[in-house]
Chain A
Amino acid sequence: MEKNTYDAIVVGTGVSGGWAAKELTEKGLKTLVLDRGPMVKHGDYPTAMKNPWELPYGDEPTQADIARWPKHTRPSFYGITQSTKHWFADDIDNPYEETKPFDWFRGYHVGGRSLMWGRQSYRLSQMDLEANGKEGVGVDWPIRYEDLAPWYDKVEHFIGVSGNTDHLAQLPDGDFLPPMDLNCVEKDFQSKLSDRFNRKLIIGRTANLSAPLKHDQSPQRGTCQYRNLCMRGCPFGGYFSSNSSTLPSAERTGNMTMVTNAIVYELIYDNDKGKATGVRVLDAETGHQTEYFAKVIFMCASTFGTAQILLNSTSTRFPNGFGNDSGELGHNIMDHLFGTGARAMVEGHEDRYYSGRRPNGFYIPRYRNVGTDKQKYLRGYGFQGGAGRQDWTRLVQEQLLGADLKQAAEAPGPWYVSMMGFGEMLPSHKNFVTLDRNHKDKYGLPILNFDAAHQENELMMSKAIVEDAVEMLSAAGYRDVNSFSMQANVGAGIHEMGTARMGRDPKTSVLNGWNQMHACKNVYVTDGSAMASSGCQNPSLTYMALTARAANHAVEELKRGNV
C-alpha cells in the first residue's frame, strides 16, 4: 500500500488535469497523475510536419475509418481526418448509448483534448456568473467574477493568450499577448457592424503565442508559426496543450508520477474517515487492477468521464454515485448551440490579400440581453467567423477546363465571409446521463447513456442566431447571403459541462464554491462538470482558472488539516 500512496491523485491530463498536476506538484505535493490512454510526449505528433501531398486520401476519412468512428465522423469542429484520427477514441471499443442523439468526442491519451482544442480563450463575466441567481435558472454560482479574475490572470499569463484589449463588460479583458491582424474584409465588416448595429467585432482571443511568453517557465514553447495545423499537435509549442505546457512544468518539479493506460473506474470511500482514500484503476492493456491512495483527489477526467467514474463509485454512504446526495450528479448537461450561421460573398478588395495561416478568426461578442437589449429568450450568443479569398474549389462549377482551368486557379478567388453562432444552453435537470449497468464496454465497465436535448430557450435562440447572421451580412452590403444549419446534436459544440455542478446548497449541487464535493471534502472536481451555467464563451479557460484556484485551496486546506 505504501508504494501506491501519494499526497494527491489527479485523474485525467487534459486542460484541467494538466493544471492540477502543475499546481499541486509546484506546491510540493507528491502527485500521482493518471490517464486512461497512452503517453504522448511533447513533440510526439506523427502528422505535424506532413505536407498536403504526404497525406493519403486527400486527408479524408476512409470507409474503414468511418466504420471505426461512426460517431466521431458526425458534423462538428472535429471530424476524422488522416492527419488527426489517431487522437480520437475508437467508437467501437468505447461505446455509449443515446436515448436522445448525443455527440461525445473524446481523446484518450495523455493531454486529452488539450491537443485538439479550438484554443479560443474567453473569460466569463460578472453577468454570466450572476444570471442563474437573478433569473432563477438552475442554481446560483457560488462564486463571482472577482473570485475568478486573479486565476484567469494567472492562467493567461502562463499559457499565453493572444488578444486585443476591448473594454467590454460582457467579455473581460485579460493578460494578453499581441492581437493577430484582421484582414481587409474583416475590418470592413467590423466598421459596418459598429456603424449600423453598434456591435463589436474583435479578433479572436486564442491560446497561440503571437509573441514569446512573458515568463521563462516553458522553454519548450516557441512562437506560433502560422501553419494553422494545431490539431495535429505543434512541434513548435506554438499553442497551449497540457503536453507542451503544464505537464512539462509538473515533471520538472520531480513530484509527479505519471501512470498511463490507467482507467480509473472507482473512487474508494472510507466510511469511518468520511473521506475518499483513493482510486481503483484498471490497466487498459493488461486488465490488471491496482489501488492508489492519497489525501486529496482531483477529478479532471472531462465532464462525462468524471460523471462516469462518480456514478460508478457506489457505497452504502453513496448508493446513487459518489457525492450524489443532491441527485444532480450526471444532470444539467450543457453544451453550446453550434452549427448555425451564415456566409456571404464580398465584392472588391481584389488587390488585398494575406500571408500566413492564422489559427484564429474574428469574434462578435454577445450583444443580446446585454445592457438595454431585451429578448424573449434568456441569455445570448456570440459569433465566430472569418473572411478569406476563395480557393480553386470555386472553379468546379465554372466553364473551365485544361490550361485555362490551371491558369484561373493561380489567382486568388473573390472574398467571402462566414460566421457561426455559439449560444448559451440553460442547465436543466431533464438533460442527463446515466450509467447502463446492463451494457458494458470491453473492460467490463458500464457505459453511459445520454438523454439530453435542446429545449424551448435554445430553439428560440437557434432561430435568432441565423436571423442575426443573415441580417448583419446583408446590412453590410454583402451578396449571396446564405444561412447554414449543420445537423448538430447536443455535444457537437464539444463544450460539454454541468454534470457535477457547483452551488451553495448541498441539496441542489454537487460541489461547493471551491470545486470541493459538499459530501466529501477531499475530492475536488475541476473539469467542465463543475459548471453551473455555460455562458456562450468557449469554456476551457474557465476550467483552467477553476482548477488552479481549487488546487491552491486544496493545498491550504491540507496545511490546515481540514482535508
Chain B
Amino acid sequence: MNRREWLKNMSVLAVGAIAGPSLLAVFDAHAASQKPDAKPQFLKPAQYTLVGAVADIIIPRTDTPGAVDAGVPLFIDQMFFAAYTKEEQTRYLTAMAAFDKAGGKPFMQLDDAQRKALVTKLHTEALAVPKGKTPPPAADFVMMSKKLTMMGFFLSQPGCTQVLQYAPVPGAWHGDIPLKDAGNGKSWAVETSLKI
C-alpha cells in the first residue's frame, strides 16, 4: 500500500470510528450555526451591515476572496453572541455607535472613498495610542474590527488556502529548508503552535 492509499484508509477509519453520539450531537449543533444561510444572532441588521462594510475595507476581495466572501461578518456576530463577555459586547456596541457618528453622517451614507478615508484615519489614530491603552471609542471600533476580521478571515477556508497556504496532513517535518521549497513559499496558515 503506498502512502496515499494508506492515508485514505486512515481517514476512512477516522470517520467510521466516530461513535460517541453525545459528542456528535454537540458538533452537529456547531455545524448548523456555520451554515451560509445562518442569521446574525447578536448584531441588529443595521449593525451587521455596518460591520460587513468595515470588514470589507479591512480585507477586500482582490484576486482572492475577501472578508465578506469568507463569512467574516457572521463570524464576528457569533464571537460576540457566544464567546465574549457582556462587557466586551457593550464595549463593541458603544464603540460602534461612536464610529457611526465619526464621519459627520451615518457611516453607511458615506460614499466608498469617504468610508475608506474614515476607517484609515481612525486606524492611524488607534495605532498612535500607547500600548496597553484603549483608543477613543471610534478608533477602538476600527481596531477591534480589524482584529476580528483578521481572525475570522485567516481561519476561514479562503484565508487559509488562497491567501496563506495550508496542509491539512503535512505527512512530514522538514525543519530547516529554503523558503522557496516550503510549499509555495507563503506563510503557513497553521503555525507549529508552541504558543508560550
- Closest CB-CB distance, A396 to chain B, in whole Å? 6
Distance of A40 Cα from B120 Cα, bound (Å):
51
Query: B178 to A56, Cβ gap below 8 A?
Result: no
Given A48, A58, A357, which contacts B151 in the complex, CB threshold below 8 Å?
Answer: A58
- Closest CB-CB distance, B116 to chain A, in whole Å? 8
> Which A residues lie within 8 Å of B13 (CB)?
43, 235
> Which B residues lie within 8 Å of A403 (CB)?
60, 62
Q: Which of B15, B34, B82, B186 has the most CB of A within 10 A?
A: B82
> Which A residues lie within 8 Å of B178 (CB)?
351-353
Query: A392 to B187, Cβ gap below 8 A?
Result: yes
> Which A residues lie within 8 Å of B119 (CB)?
401
Whether B33 is near chain A, meaning CB under 8 Å from some CB there, is: yes
Query: A358 to B175, Cβ gap below 8 A?
Result: yes
Distance of A236 Cα from B9 Cα, bound (Å):
10
Distance of A56 Cα from B31 Cα, bound (Å):
8
Given A41, A228, A343, A389, which contacts B187 in the complex, CB threshold below 8 Å?
Answer: A389
Given B57, B84, B150, B169, which contacts A396 in the complex, CB threshold below 8 Å?
Answer: B150
Distance of A168 Cα from B167 Cα, bound (Å):
36
- The residue in chain B whose Cβ has the minimal distance to the Cβ of A396 is B147
Whether A438 is near chain B, meaning CB under 8 Å from some CB there, is: no
> Which A residues lie within 8 Å of B23 (CB)?
46, 86
- Closest CB-CB distance, B131 to chain A, in whole Å? 8
- Closest CB-CB distance, B7 to chain A, in whole Å? 8
Whether A321 is near chain B, meaning CB under 8 Å from some CB there, is: no
**CB interface residues, A 403-449, toward B, < 8 Å:** 403, 405-406, 409-413, 418-420
Stretch from A16-24, A179-187, A250-258, A524-532 at the B interface: A179-187
Whether A367 is near chain B, meaning CB under 8 Å from some CB there, is: no
Q: Which of B30, B170, B172, B180 has the most CB of A within 10 A?
A: B170
- The residue in chain A whose Cβ has the minimal distance to the Cβ of B186 is A410
Query: B196 to A354, Cβ gap below 8 A?
Result: no
Whether A385 is near chain B, meaning CB under 8 Å from some CB there, is: yes
Interface size class of A (residues with CB under 8 A): 35 or more
Instruction: Say yes or no: A397-B127 contact (C-beta < 8 A), given A58-B152, A402-B57, A410-B186.
Output: yes
- Closest CB-CB distance, B188 to chain A, in whole Å? 7
Mark interface residues in B5-21 (1 if CB within 8 Å of A CB, else 0). 01100110111111110
Whether A82 is near chain B, meaning CB under 8 Å from some CB there, is: yes
Interface size class of B (residues with CB under 8 A): 35 or more
Given A46, A49, A361, which contacts B11 in the complex, CB threshold below 8 Å?
Answer: A49
Whether A395 is near chain B, meaning CB under 8 Å from some CB there, is: yes
Mark interface residues in B134-157 (1 if CB within 8 Å of A CB, else 0). 000000000100110011101111
Query: B78 to A56, Cβ gap below 8 A?
Result: yes
Whether A217 is near chain B, meaning CB under 8 Å from some CB there, is: no
Given A54, A61, A351, which contacts B179 in the complex, CB threshold below 8 Å?
Answer: A351
Distance of A45 Cα from B6 Cα, bound (Å):
19
Query: A181 to B175, Cβ gap below 8 A?
Result: yes
- Closest CB-CB distance, A493 to chain B, in whole Å? 13
Query: A352 to B59, Cβ gap below 8 A?
Result: no
- The residue in chain A whose Cβ has the minimal distance to the Cβ of B154 is A392
- The residue in chain A whose Cβ has the minimal distance to the Cβ of B6 is A222
Distance of A44 Cα from B18 Cα, bound (Å):
4
Instruction: Say yes or no: A42-B17 contact (C-beta < 8 A), given A57-B79, A86-B23, A418-B194.
Output: yes
A interface residue numbers (CB < 8 A to B): 38, 40-49, 51-64, 82, 86, 180-184, 186-187, 222, 224-228, 235-236, 341, 343, 350-358, 361, 385-386, 388-389, 391-393, 395-397, 399, 401-403, 405-406, 409-413, 418-420, 484
A-B contact pairs, 5 of them (CB 8 A): A181-B176, A352-B177, A353-B177, A391-B188, A412-B179
The 9 A-B residue pairs whose C-beta atoms are closest, nearest first, are A181-B175, A43-B17, A235-B14, A356-B173, A356-B170, A386-B194, A353-B182, A62-B82, A226-B170
